[in-house]
Amino acid sequence: MIRTVDVNTVETVRLSDNAATYGVGPKKMTDGYAYIMPMRGYINLGFYQGAVLADPKRLLEGTGKGCVT
């Protein structure tokens, strides 16, 4: 699904975290913009800067954490 939206994304599989990062390069926090992490019973799709994303329709769930510089 991510590749449908961004055909140029770089996928980095992180076996130690049981996750995959998607972004402009292989570095998790500086190059990545999203990640998927399978959990028991669901899959977590997260955004590294999700806490600062505009969400006027309140589609995103969770409290998020982030740093605005």
pLDDT at 13: 93
pLDDT at 66: 59
How many whole angstroms separate alpha carbon 43 and alpha carbon 45?
Answer: 6
pLDDT at 64: 67
- Residues of the chain with pLDDT below 70 are 64-69
CB count within 10 Å of CB 12 equals 17
pLDDT at 69: 44
The model carries a pTM of 0.73
Contact predicate 34/46, CB 8 Å: yes
Q: Percentage of the chain with pLDDT > 90? A: 42
CB count within 10 Å of CB 52 equals 13
